[in-house]
Amino acid sequence: MPETMTAVSEYPLEFRLNNQPVRCRVPVERTLADFLHDDLGLTGTKLGCSRGVCGACVTLVDGKPVASCSTFAFQVNGREVLSIEGLETDGVLHTIQQAFVARSAFQCGYCTAGMVLLTKSLLDHHPEPSRELIVEWISSNVCRCTGYALIIEAVEEAARKLRAERQP
Amino acid sequence: MQLIPSAGLVPTSARSLPRFKLYEPRSIAQALDALAAAANPVVLAGGTDLVARFNEGLSPGEMVSLAHVAELRSIAADGVTLRIGACVSHDAGCTNAIVREQIPGFSRAWARIANPRIRFNATLGGNLMALRPRYECSLLLTAARARLEFTTSAGTITLTPQDLWAGHAPARSLLTTITLDTADLLWYAYERSMRPLITLATGLRRRPDGLLLSCAVATEYLRPVLLELEMDTTDLPSIARNSREIAKNVFAQLPGTFSDPVATRAYCLAAGTTLLARQLAGVAHA
């Protein structure tokens, strides 16, 4: 960590990404999206608007959705970050991803990574969301293809399946 | 022809963000020192607006991150006044038990702005300091007659949201606290169903000889204006029954210049009156 009152142009970044430690130095103006793409080769996060509006670039920081295009990499120092690449386990898609596949909840696929991670955060915060709450959350992200109906159904299915998985 | 702000702007690639240096103060005093030392600083709160500003041409020399200034994320109440730190996120604020208890209508309104993704990260102070008409907190706080405390090296200055729009915030100062009087606030409501065309927030406060109605109105392109009406009654059912007449009296004060390319004054007058009347029709249940 740099001296508090010394202005720095490069940041010693330490955080956990997809349950793995990451240590590196980044220019302070590097966005999280560009860091994932250019420094780590993780291109699953998609860039849509570069203004934090469309939500295609959503990643999770300490379980909360952020627009990675509008988040500087240094802002995740000391935190837990989950990108879309981190959702699957040993090649097996997460239950949410499986629900999106089962419900055909995508067309071009560009918003999908952001939608899936947003869903992850929603269901972590609200394991039994009402349809109204699902609509409120999913409307954070733009989808020009699907009309949202199948996405909402995928979220509902994911919620059911995750609840079932938690049953003893 | 009226130029709409942001028209014609093409976002540059995030890869071409201008270089800057970063300060990470641990206290308000250190933040002020950083602002004083920097040549061309910008403040980072939640950051949800800042990269967009870079895309609009912002090119600071230094960035002062408030992430580690814990004092700016406090919430406290004494039964008369609610004090909210400028870096309280929308989610933390609207779900806070103190805010919900002290000013429930404002808490409900706060929970409706933006979207869940933004609410986790964006801050009350950042929303205000962005000075974008379409951002909602200025409207909410105007209707709540909030006060904004700016800390400078010489002390604290208190402004209204309207003062902030007028450019009265001192240079190199830091918005630290938003205060709201809660003891006399009887009722508060927010109407955003016609957003972005028009939004309005309304508060009713007890006065020695009646009630004060404070209605803040904004459009996507116009900063909030405050319309107030002193009423010599505390009979809420009567206010509800006469909601249309009261709303007309309130909106008769709408400035003649309150008009934008999308929502004309005539529209704002008609829609605002209807929306306020509908709000007031529900005040009997306060």
Q: What is the mean pLDDT of residues A103-127?
A: 97
Same domain? For B197 and B122 the reply is: no
Alpha-carbon distance B111 to B137, whole Å? 11
pLDDT of residue B80: 96
Q: Which residues of B touch A52 (CB under 8 A)?
A: 48-49, 51-52, 118
Is there a contact between B162 and B139 (Cβ–Cβ < 8 Å)?
A: no
* Domain assignment present for B15: no
Q: Could you tell me if B175 and B234 lie in one domain?
A: no
Query: Which of B50, B69, B113, B117 to mutate to probe the A interface, most A CBs <10 Å?
Result: B117
Nearest-CA distance B172 → chain A (Å) = 16
Residues B175 and B210 in one domain: no
| Final residue belonging to a domain, choices B129, B153, B181 | B181
Residues A100, A159: one domain? yes
Query: What is the span of the domain harbouring residue B173?
Result: 73-181
How do residues B268-286 score in pLDDT, each as one tens digit?
999 999 999 999 999 987 6
Which among B66, B115, B135 is the top mutation candidate for probing chain A, defined by the most A β-carbons within 10 Å of its own β-carbon? B115
Q: Is the same domain home to A127 and A82?
A: no
Spatial separation of the C-alpha atoms in residues B45 and A163, rounded to whole Å: 36
Q: Counting Cβ atoms within 10 Å, is residue B155 exposed (0-12), middle (13-18) or buried (19+)?
A: exposed
Whether residue B229 has pLDDT greater than 70? yes
Are A52 and A24 in the same domain? yes
Q: What is the pLDDT of residue B13?
A: 55
Q: Which residues between 125 and 144 in chain A have a beta carbon less than 8 angstroms from any beta carbon of chain B? A: 136-137, 139-141
Average pLDDT over residues A101-128: 97
CB contact under 8 A, B24 and A50: no
- Whether B173 and B80 share a structural domain: yes
Q: How many distinct structural domains can be found in chain B?
A: 2
pLDDT in tens, B108-126: 999 999 999 999 999 999 9
With a CB cutoff of 8 Å and minimum separation 6, the contacts of B258 are B217, B222, B225, B265, B268
On whether both A137 and A155 belong to a single domain, the answer is yes
Q: Could you tell me the CATH number of the domain that includes residue B200? A: 3.30.390.50
Choosing from A42, A66, A86, the residue where a domain stops is: A86
Q: Does residue B197 sit within a domain?
A: yes
- Segment A73-92 mean pLDDT: 97
pLDDT in tens, B28-52: 999 999 999 999 999 999 999 998 8
- Residue B109 belongs to a domain: yes
Domain final residue, candidates B181, B204, B228? B181
Does one domain contain both B189 and B118? Answer: no
Whether B61 is covered by a domain: the verdict is no
Same domain as A161, residue A125: yes
CB B85 within 8 A of CB B75: yes
The reply to whether B90 and B115 lie within a common domain is yes
A26–chain B Cβ distance below 8 A for any pair: no
Residue B34 lies in a domain: no
Asked if the structure places residue A68 within a domain, the reply is yes
* Domain identity same for B165 and B193: no
ipTM: 0.92
**Could you tell me the CATH number of the domain that includes residue A77?**
3.10.20.30
> Does A92 reach chain B within 8 Å, measured CB to CB?
no
**Residue finishing a domain among A33, A58, A86:** A86
pLDDT at A66 over 80: yes
Q: Mark whether B173 and B195 lie in a shared domain.
A: no
Give chain A's domain count: 2
Looking up residue A110, the CATH number of its domain turns out to be 1.10.150.120
Q: Which residue of A has its CA nearest to B9?
A: A51
Closest partner residue to A9 (CB to CB) among B21, B117, B118 is B21
Residues A79 and A24 in one domain: yes
User: Which of A164-168, B127-131, B200-204, B220-224 is least confident?
Assistant: A164-168
Q: What is the pLDDT of residues A1-38, one digit of tens each?
A: 334 488 999 999 999 999 999 999 999 999 999 999 99
Task: Please state the length of chain B.
Answer: 286
Are residue B84 and residue B172 in the same domain, yes or no? yes
Contact B14 A31 (CB under 8 A): yes
- The answer to whether residue B96 is domain-embedded is yes
> Does A52 contact B14 at a Cβ distance shorter than 8 Å?
no
- A15 sits in which H/E element: strand A10-17
Domain presence at residue B192: yes
B54 located within any domain: no
**Of the residues B155, B181, B207, the one at which a domain ends:** B181
Domain that holds residue A69: 10-86
| Domain stop point among A42, A68, A86 | A86
Q: Which residue of B has its CA nearest to A76?
A: B67
Instruction: Indicate the SS3 state at residue B276.
Output: helix
Same structural domain, B214 and B243:
yes
Confidence of residue B14 (pLDDT cuts 50, 70, 90): low
CB contact under 8 A, A64 and B120: yes
Inside any domain, residue A1: no
In this structure, the answer to whether residues A114 and A148 fall within a common structural domain is yes
Q: Give the predicted TM-score (pTM) of the model.
A: 0.93
Q: Residue A4 has what pLDDT?
A: 47
Question: What is the token pair recorded at B31?
Answer: 């933040």
**Residue A3 counted as domain residue:** no
Check CB contact of B21 with chain A, cutoff 8 Å: yes
Band of pLDDT at residue B90, cut at 50, 70 and 90: very high
B94: CATH: 3.30.465.10
Q: For residue A5, tell me if it sits in a domain.
A: no
Nearest CA in chain B to A29: B19
Q: What pLDDT score was predicted for residue A60?
A: 98
The answer to whether the CB atoms of B120 and A50 lie below 8 A apart is no
- The tokens 């020009």 sit on which residue? A144
B213 to chain A, minimum CA–CA distance in Å? Answer: 31
Inter-chain touch A49–B22, beta carbons under 8 Å: no
| Residue contact A29–B20, C-beta within 8 A | yes
